[in-house]
Amino acid sequence: MVKAAVIVEPEKLEIKSFDVPRVAEDALLVKVKACGVCGTDVHVFHGHLKAAPFPLIPGHELSGVIEELGPRASESIVVRGGELRGGDAVTVVPGLPCGRCYYCLNMPELPNLCTNRLVYGVTRSCRAAPHLYGGYAEYIYIEPGSWVYKLPEGMPFEVGALAEPTAVSTRALGRALGSGSAAGLTVAVQGGGAIGLLAAAAAKVAGAERVILIDRVEQRLRMAERMGADELVDMREFKTAEGRVKRVLELTGEVGADITIECTGVPAAVPEGLEMTKRAGKYVEVGHFTDPGGVEIRPHVICFKDMDVLGSWVYPMAQFGEALDVLSSGRFPFAELFTHKFKITDALKAIEASEKGECIKALIVP
Ligand SMILES: [Zn+2]
Ligand SMILES: [Zn+2]
């Protein structure tokens, strides 16, 4: 039997057992070794995501080993990083495009814009066999059309489980950089949660000269130092938006950051972030994955600064390659982002700890 945490209805999580599935010839069974707990999982738990069908097994940030490989799986599943064999360490790209919507048909280069994305651990119910479509389980069943990345040699499973959030962060940075380099640039990161911290690390790996990270939580600020931030703006010290903007200007010769990445999900951060970005700079909005409402902005700032304001919505599948490059750079102690670890049977505690903000990131270890 396979143990899994199942959200049976909003705010009701139960530990259930499923039969070990028979693996179709074009599918894969992955033995989950590590699964990160994401803010999205908290929203799914509360029933905030309309696309989440209950009952479902949450978890979309996973790594594991190939337990069983259907004989034709290598043809039906996109495998990156070499030929796939049983026992290989992998991570799975959770989101897949439908191939039929307006965006899939007209803008296939941006599969992240698909309006019917199928996402393991988010939009796939466990009601019907083979049931195992989420990462808070001992096994996950991977279907044809999925993308699987082999983990670089020697990468710990915990670090492999960070490929998904790192893909979010590298995509946000990539929106600003385009095909250009970060060399010599100052990047300001608003918010030191997992996405902000990984954005800081990704900016340093991409060659940024200086990363300024803004947060108010001691644990996050200390972690930001470990993840490459050169300067911290502590919101307990710089209590007002004006004070923080002034501080960033001070740190940049009164010019502002070349790139500012919004990773707080707090609307009030946006006008502040626009102000701390230099003229002709770029502002990237990645923090508002859900919609907490609006805020007043001054459009004149955008016009006067001749600046770019860019949105970043998840990532194309191939973003995992860049994410794994960042994680395998060896530059930063990525596994330390998992400040809390839980068994599957304690999945509810993991979700609660994430919601309370006790941890930088929680990990489920089967
Ligand atoms: Zn996530
Ligand atoms: Zn689509």
pLDDT at 20: 96
Q: Is the peptide bond before 271 cis (omega within 30 degrees of 0)?
A: no
Which ligand has the minimum distance to the alpha carbon of residue 44?
1
State the distance from the centre of ligand 1 to the C-alpha of 87, rounded, in angstroms. Answer: 25
In a domain, 259, yes or no: yes
Rounded Cα distance between 209 and 59, Å, is: 35
Residues 23 and 128 in one domain: yes
In a domain, 322, yes or no: no
Compute CA 31 distance to the chain's CA centroid, rounded to the nearest angstrom: 21
Q: 55 is in which domain, residue-wise? A: 2-155+328-364
In a domain, 235, yes or no: yes
Strand duo 12-18 + 2-9: pairing: antiparallel
Rounded Cα distance between 318 and 103, Å, is: 17
State the distance from the centre of ligand 1 to the C-alpha of 247, rounded, in angstroms. Answer: 31
State the distance from the centre of ligand 2 to the C-alpha of 99, rounded, in angstroms. Answer: 5
Structure confidence by residue, pLDDT tens digits, 197-239: 999 999 999 999 999 999 999 999 999 999 999 999 999 999 9
pLDDT at 36: 98
Above 90 in pLDDT, residue 328?
A: yes
Residues 54 and 95 in one domain: yes
Q: Which two tokens stand for residue 336?
A: 């330390």
In a domain, 110, yes or no: yes
Residues 176 and 133 in one domain: no
Residues 13 and 46 in one domain: yes
The percent of residues in the chain predicted with pLDDT above 70, rounded, is: 100
What's the average model confidence in pLDDT over 341-359?
A: 96
- Nearest Cα neighbor of 142 from 221, 29, 61, 280 is 29
State the distance from the centre of ligand 1 to the C-alpha of 163, rounded, in angstroms. Answer: 10
Whether this model's pTM surpasses 0.85? yes
pLDDT at 225: 98
- Using DSSP's 3-state secondary structure scheme, residue 148 falls into strand
Residues 110 and 201 in one domain: no
Amino acid letter for position 240: T
Residues 300 and 182 in one domain: yes
Residues 151 and 174 in one domain: no
Residues 189 and 306 in one domain: yes
Q: Is the peptide bond before 55 cis (omega within 30 degrees of 0)?
A: yes
Strand duo 210-215 + 2-9: pairing: unpaired
**286 contacts 309 by C-beta, under 8 angstroms:** no
Structure confidence by residue, pLDDT tens digits, 303-321: 999 999 999 999 999 999 9
In a domain, 317, yes or no: no
Residue partners of 250: CB distance under 8 A and separation at least 6: none
CATH number of the domain residue 74 falls in: 3.90.180.10
Structure confidence by residue, pLDDT tens digits, 94-151: 999 999 999 999 999 999 999 999 999 999 999 999 999 999 999 999 999 999 999 9
In a domain, 323, yes or no: no
State the distance from the centre of ligand 2 to the C-alpha of 100, rounded, in angstroms. Answer: 5
Rounded Cα distance between 210 and 213, Å, is: 10
**95 contacts 118 by C-beta, under 8 angstroms:** yes
pLDDT at 50: 87
CATH number of the domain residue 197 falls in: 3.40.50.720
Which ligand has the minimum distance to the alpha carbon of residue 58?
1
Rounded Cα distance between 155 and 304, Å, is: 46
Average pLDDT, the chain: 97
Above 90 in pLDDT, residue 25?
A: yes
pLDDT at 308: 98
Amino acid letter for position 230: D
State the distance from the centre of ligand 2 to the C-alpha of 212, rounded, in angstroms. Answer: 37
Which residues pair with residue 14 across a beta bridge?
6
Residues 9 and 98 in one domain: yes
Q: Which two tokens stand for residue 154?
A: 């020697």
CA torsion 20-23-27-30 (nearest 10°) is 30
pLDDT at 199: 98
Residues 109 and 211 in one domain: no
Rounded Cα distance between 194 and 175, Å, is: 19
State the distance from the centre of ligand 1 to the C-alpha of 63, rounded, in angstroms. Answer: 13
Residues 355 and 264 in one domain: no
Angle at 291 between CA 286 and CA 297, to 5 degrees: 75
Which ligand has the minimum distance to the alpha carbon of residue 113?
2
In a domain, 205, yes or no: yes
pLDDT at 109: 96
State the distance from the centre of ligand 2 to the C-alpha of 97, rounded, in angstroms. Answer: 5
Q: Considering its fold, how many domains does the chain have in total?
A: 2
Residues 176 and 268 in one domain: yes
In a domain, 319, yes or no: no
